[in-house]
Structure 1
């Protein structure tokens, strides 16, 4: 398998190079997916209609493929949080790359110091109460003050690598709901965690726990320039 080319190439060239390897199969999900199947997946899952820009999907696939190449993933599920979207939008996408299914498309909170309706500022610092961008590995689950929760391990040095020290986890929260949006004009915010709807917390966590790729993206120049996975 060829190693993915790194950043600073055009999106069109990126797709041409990224998706020329053999397609993934049921028994062996390839490190790279073929061009036709990738476009088909994006279109069949109606990701554009659901608000996910193709360039964000491309970046997610690039990092996912690199983590696969490094044998770091134990699951073929890819989760994408598109923080360029309003928190009032369903901006969490959970995709089974083997079965080619969209498992979940729902709301997800950002850190309270990252912004109001929109997340605009990000941090890798303790007590910042901001979201951290980049690629994570999903880890173990536990029962905490929010009930079932799942730890996240940041995979990008200087970008999200102290997520565990910061206590960045996925959990359910009452402020992640359509009723909260209706009453407040925006989704509620966390202390930096990607909090989800309480009623969906358990099924989402059970689908992605234990070594899947979790990607939080915003088109921040500093992140794009410094990430080694994009």
Structure 2
């Protein structure tokens, strides 16, 4: 019985350590173990993890990072398993049609702006909507992404968010503000990250970093 208890304590400790990245050294070590240097900058990753640490009511162990500082013809949607230190998904993601063409340059929290919103979210429930199987997002940052639910800003699949679309047009199509990903993996991704995991959308907007309680430059 004692042996089993000790094993249980050891296992619990390892899980706790695996999902605690509170120091710069731990964050840098995790980044290096993920081997994503050619896809996601350390600066973006660092901001995402620092913000993740500040969110208390999340489902532990996973984070989705959407990097709108990169052009849409590059992979910029990453789902990371923090316990196993593994990138589970790396794919394309579209931004809002009024946020920019190839690159995302304008962001908004206003209804009918058709722009993407930056910042930290918690994923909510999945549902069948106008864009098929979709995932609601709860924006955590007042004035930045807090209207995500009202605006129906969701993760969904789209045929304009694929490599084939890029090969034909040079960049992805655009959404009405939603982070849209390839349809062939959208349901799988949604089911993997739904119901309480952290999603962070990064972008080139200094105003966001001045206002955000979660991220800083």
TM-score with structure 1 setting the length: 0.84
Match of 2:82 in 1: 97
Alpha-carbon separation, structure 2, partners of 1:75 and 1:115? 33
Counterpart in the other structure of 1:127? 112
Pairs within 5 Å for 1:1-230: 25-27=14-16, 30-50=19-39, 52-67=40-55, 71-230=56-215
RMSD: 1.5
Task: Map Cα deviations across residues 24-71 of structure 1 (whole Å, 9 max, x no partner).
Answer: 832565554454442222112111122x1111111001110000xxx3
Partners of 1:141 and 1:75 lie apart in 2 by 19
Is the Cα contact below 8 Å between 2:121 and 2:140 reproduced in 1? yes
Distance 1:226 1:193 in 2: 22
CA contact (8 A) 2:27 2:49 kept: no
Instruction: Flag the structure with larger Rg.
Output: 2
Which secondary structure state, in structure 1, belongs to the residue aligned with residue 94 of structure 2?
coil
Give a deviation string over 1:65-119, Cα, whole Å, max 9, x none.
Answer: 000xxx3102321010110101000001110111111100100010000000000
Measure how far apart 1:223 and its partner are.
Answer: 0.3
How far off is 1:200 after superposition? 0.9
- Please tell me whether the aligned partners of residues 152 and 170 of structure 1 are also in contact (alpha carbons under 8 angstroms): yes
Residue deviations 1:177-196 (CA, integer Å, cap 9, x gap): 11111111110100000000
Q: Following the alignment from structure 2 to structure 1, what is the Cα–Cα distance between the partners of residues 168 and 153?
A: 27
The size of the alignment, in residue pairs, is: 203
Structure 1, unaligned runs of 5 or more: 1-23
Shift of the alpha carbon at 1:168?
0.3
Stretches of structure 2 lacking an aligned partner (at least 5 in a row) = 1-12
Tell me the secondary structure at the aligned position of residue 207 of structure 2.
helix
Q: Which structure carries more helix by proportion?
A: 2
Moved more, 140-149 or 85-94: 140-149
TM-score, scaled to structure 2: 0.89
